[in-house]
Amino acid sequence: MDLRLPIGLVFTIYGLLLSLYGFFTKGDAMYSKSLNLNVNLEWGIVLLVFGLVMLFFAKRGKQA
């Protein structure tokens, strides 16, 4: 079994959840402690992109 598939799924799901949470709480006061950076949204996008890249390589690996 290719490990890229479950890793890609986990990171995609976590990234989607974290970025949605960050998107819907973007005006919240908790971001004043982090220099007004929406860390949840930014890292959610990073996790989502990484998960999608892993899924892409898993799909590409099955074709070859």
Rounded Cα distance, 49 and 47, in Å: 6
Structure tokens at 6: 């479950």
> Exposed, middle or buried, 44 (CB in 10 Å: 0-12/13-18/19+)?
buried
Give the domain extent around 28.
4-63
- pLDDT, tens digit, 9 for 90 and up, residues 9-51: 999 999 999 999 999 998 878 888 888 899 999 999 999 999 9
Rounded Cα distance, 15 and 10, in Å: 8
- To the question of pTM greater than 0.95 for the whole model, the response is no
- Domains held by the chain: number: 1
